[in-house]
């Protein structure tokens, strides 16, 4: 039910993330600092999870373990973003620590994906239960990122830095709605979650476009 609508929203979300990766990679490309690699990785994984979600609902795709893969890819997307924010507040240079963390996360991710493909029952006997736990984990990551971004805004108040925390909060509320859907199968919560996600991604696109392409912003600098 509602497969066409869902596929459409997932495809739009995946395209939005793909565009965002182009912007998110810029800090890493210009500064060469690996700690900014979490931004393109996070949005890239997020886009991949939405693309995977769209494929799993498509009649063209038949992969029984797609739910697990999508669940892990999305969880790691938020984890990469949370780790990026965590390391950004450190006053000391955390290059080695960040590189090690990135390596460990990549290794854990690979093992989980392999397990999800080969033997999902080894991970968790009940997929629905696992879905609830993973969504709670996503919510925790998004809450941490939102608080971190809001704190940065409070430390140096500037109207331009308020929009991104708002985007993360929208993604967080969207995740909460999807958690509600995972628990009580409410279709209203499900579509609210998808719409809020689209709104959150639109905020990121808006900020990225304004920063890099708006002639007004260029003039101010």
The residue ranges that bind other proteins (CB under 8 A) are: 23, 26-27, 30-33, 36, 39, 84-85, 88-89, 91, 93, 148-153, 158, 160-161, 163-165, 207-208, 211-212, 217-218, 221
Closer to other proteins by Cβ: residue 82 or 179 = 82
Closer to other proteins by Cβ: residue 74 or 148 = 148
Minimum distance from CB of 40 to other proteins (Å)? 12
Closer to other proteins by Cβ: residue 47 or 167 = 167
Phi, psi of 73 (to 5 degrees): -60, -45
Instruction: Give the number of other CB atoms < 10 A from CB of residue 79.
Output: 23
Minimum distance from CB of 30 to other proteins (Å)? 5
Q: 66-88 and 38-57 are packed helices; what angle lies between their axes, rounded to 10 degrees?
A: 160
- Stated as kind and residue range, the H or E segment containing 217 is helix 215-220
Instruction: Give the number of other CB atoms < 10 A from CB of residue 140.
Output: 15
Minimum distance from CB of 106 to other proteins (Å)? 21
Report how far residue 205's alpha carbon sits from residue 98's, in angstroms, rounded to the nearest whole number: 27
């Amino acid at each position: 039910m509602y497969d066409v609508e869902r596929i459409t929203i997932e495809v739009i979300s995946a395209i939005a993330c793909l565009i965002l990766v182009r912007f998110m990679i810029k800090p890493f490309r210009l500064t060469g600092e690996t700690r900014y690699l979490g931004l393109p990785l996070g949005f890239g994984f997020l886009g991949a999870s939405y693309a995977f979600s769209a494929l799993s609902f498509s009649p063209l795709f038949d992969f029984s373990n797609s739910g697990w893969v999508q669940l892990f890819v999305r969880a790691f997307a938020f984890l990469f973003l949370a780790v990026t924010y965590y390391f950004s507040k450190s006053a000391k240079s955390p290059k080695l620590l960040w590189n090690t963390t990135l390596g460990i996360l990549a290794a854990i991710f690979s093992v989980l994906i392999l397990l999800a493909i080969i033997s999902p029952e080894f991970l968790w006997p009940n997929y629905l239960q696992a879905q609830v736990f993973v969504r709670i984990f996503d919510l925790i990551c998004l809450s941490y990122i939102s608080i971190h971004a809001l704190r940065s805004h409070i430390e140096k108040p500037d109207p331009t830095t308020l929009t991104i925390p708002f985007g993360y909060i929208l993604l967080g509320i969207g995740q909460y709605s999807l958690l509600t859907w995972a628990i009580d199968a409410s279709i209203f919560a499900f579509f609210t979650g998808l719409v809020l996600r689209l709104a959150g991604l639109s905020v990121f696109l808006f900020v990225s476009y304004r920063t890099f392409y708006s002639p007004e912003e260029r003039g101010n600098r």
